[in-house]
Structures are given as C-alpha cells and as structure tokens.
Amino acid sequence: MSELYIRVAEDENEEPMEIPSEDDGTVLLSSVSAQFPGACGLRYRNPESQCMRGVRLVEGVLHAPESSWGNLVYVVNYPKDNKRKMEEIDAASAVKIKRGFQKTSDLIVLGLPWKTTEQDLKDYFSTFGEVIMVQVKRDAKTGNSKGFGFVRFADYETQTKVIAQRHMIDGRWCDCKLPNSKASPDEPMRSRKIFVGRCTEDMTTDDLRQYFMQYGEVTDVFIPKPFRAFAFVTFADDQVAQALCGEDLIIKGVSVHISNAEPKHNNSRQMMDRGRFGAGGFSQGYGSNRGGLSRLFLLVHYDMDLFFLSLPLVKSAKLLLIYVKIIYTCHHK
C-alpha cells in the first residue's frame, strides 16, 4: 500500500528502526522480532487520547491502526517475563565476561617424546599464547621423562584452542586434555550443577530450563518433590555454572539465589548424571526370588527421596541397568 517501512523502537525515546511492511500493508511480527528478538507485538501512543494503544495482531500479522501506519513511532512489546530483557541481556553478557576471566587449568600433555624438555614445551606452546607453567614428568631416580607433562596458559581462549587440536611436538603427535584430577570421580558434577534457592512452587522444570537456557545449554533440571523451595540446574559447560554462582536472579518475578550445588556422595542421582549407572548407585538393594517369587524389590535412594520399586524378574545386571534407566527417565519427564 502506501508505506514500505514503518518506524519501530525499543522505547518511545529510542531511535526508531525502519521495519518493512508487506504488500497488503500489514507488518509481520517476524519482521519485528528479526530486529527485536523476543518481541511479541507493537504499541503506539494515540495522538488524540495520549494513551498507549496496542496494534492488532492476528496470527503473526500486525494490522495498521485505522487505515494506515502513518508516521507514528511504534514501540516493541515483550512478553511480561521478558520485561527485564535488557537486564537479562546484561546478566548474560556478564556471564560471558566472567567466563573470559575464568581462570585456566593445568592441561595434561600426553605422548611427549622422551627427549622433550620443559624448554621445548614452552617454546612450542608459546606459539598459541602466553604460557605460565610447563612441566615434564620424570622418574625421580633416573630423571627420564615419563612421556607426559603439564602446561598452563594465561588465557582461557588459548586453553580452549589448544585442547581442540593435536600437537606435533618433536616429531610425535601429542594430545592436550583437562586432567582427570579436574573431574574427580567423587564430585564430578559440582562445577556443572548449580543450586537454585528461594524457588516458588509455581516454578516448573520447564520454567527453569527456559530461563537458564540464555546462559548456556542446560542438560538437567531437578525439582525435589514434595516442594522444598530449591532446585538443581545442570549446564553442559561448567564455566557457565561457575559464572552464575553468587548471583541473585529474577525468575517469574521472584528473586532466587544461585550457589554451588553441594557435592553429594555416591548416590544414584550422581551416578546417573555421570552416565555411570551401576549397582553402586543404589544405597540399598533387596533381591527376592525364592519359592517362585519372581520379582525383584529395590529400595532406591534417589537424591533425598526413597523409591520402593517392584520389578519383574531381573535376569542379568544388564537388564537391571535398563530398568534403572527407564525409572530414571520416568522421574525426569
């Protein structure tokens, strides 16, 4: 129709951006949200009443007020939960900044030639970034290299780059990895899991997942039942979890507090988080298969809850693990 573009702004006082309209004079919400991510509609100040007025929205199509869009500046609407959009973006970038400042860890260097010295290591790795420590592990008596060492970089980005590739050092291919000591078998999830305190009962696992997604990939959300005013959220990246610790975040209008998830001992929950299902995951197990009784009873300790389960005859440990996985899945969705 008349206008090719309408003027849209984040706020009345912000500089407007021109958004293209369609041939029939309508504007697609997707056109708006392409420039204003998360937008769910438009409003404008009615020149006569001086009141804000909503723009008609039907199935993703925004319709001009009266007959034309005129020369008004339209203001973006965000979902109520996203009212604090700017603050959330700030929080997200704060996490990124924090992540940039995250301290590096020693990396183990595997496969070193016997002859490689610490100076050799330093010379090689300095081509990636500032090296702040190198070690070649040697036999105490003979002084011979054990064929592996450690390196520490000043920069987290350097560390990431170095881990991602193989390294030709003095004629041998070597690998750099996070040492196992960084993910000790006793407390492997401490760094990837956060404790969310002051939760309210209306917060669902989906709510939490949706909210925490903005910081990074969420691999698990756990809300104890019955309601106990806290939850656990596990991220794929431990750096994200670490960065959030200590923060007060607003979820559904409620201030929740983020802290480190207290590492627990070898309970079933952690065994499962690790993808290491096993009999050790049960705090107790009772088998009953006497006198034709072909059922197995299990008392499963799952986080702080106990589940008493009755299973069909379990013929093998392998089958038992399959059952456990099913149970685990059921308690997760």
What is the contact surface with DNA in residues (CB under 7 A)?
105-106, 108, 110-114, 133, 135, 137, 140, 142, 144-148, 150, 172, 177, 179-182
Question: Of the two residues 58 and 140, which places its CB atom closer to DNA in the complex?
Answer: 140
CB of 101 to DNA, least distance (A): 20
Query: Is 193 strand, coil or helix?
Result: strand
Cis upstream peptide for 226 (omega within 30°): yes
Pairwise CA distance, residues 222 & 30, whole Å: 34
Q: Is 214 helix (H, G, I), strand (E, B) or coil?
A: helix
State which amino acid sits at residue 330: C
CB of 154 to DNA, least distance (A): 15
Q: What three-state secondary structure class fits 8?
A: strand
Can you read off the two tokens belonging to residue 127?
Answer: 């081509």
State the minimum distance, in angstroms, from the CB of residue 146 to DNA.
4
Cβ burial of 9 (10 Å; 0-12, 13-18, 19+) is middle
Q: Which C-beta is closer to DNA: that of 155 or that of 175?
A: 175
Using DSSP, state whether 183 is helix, strand or coil.
helix
Q: Closest distance between DNA and the C-beta of residue 167, in Å?
A: 12
DSSP state, 51? Answer: -
8 A C-beta contact, residue 122 and residue 131: yes
Q: In angstroms, what is the minimal distance from the CB of 128 to DNA? A: 18
Nearest residue (CB) to DNA, 172 versus 198: 172
3-state secondary structure 251-314: ECCEEEEEEECCCCCCCHHHHHHCCCCCHHHCCEEEEECCCCCCEEEEEEEECCEEEEEEEECC
Q: What is the DSSP letter of 201?
A: T
Q: Which is nearer to DNA, 8 or 169 (CB)?
A: 169
Q: Which residue, 171 or 291, has its beta carbon nearer to DNA?
A: 171
Nearer to DNA, 28 or 183 (CB): 183
As measured in angstroms, the least distance from the Cβ of 165 to DNA is 16
The residue among 140 and 164 lying less far from DNA, judged by its C-beta, is: 140
* Strand 41-45 to 56-58 pairing: unpaired
Q: Supply the minimum distance, in Å, between the C-beta of residue 162 and DNA.
A: 14
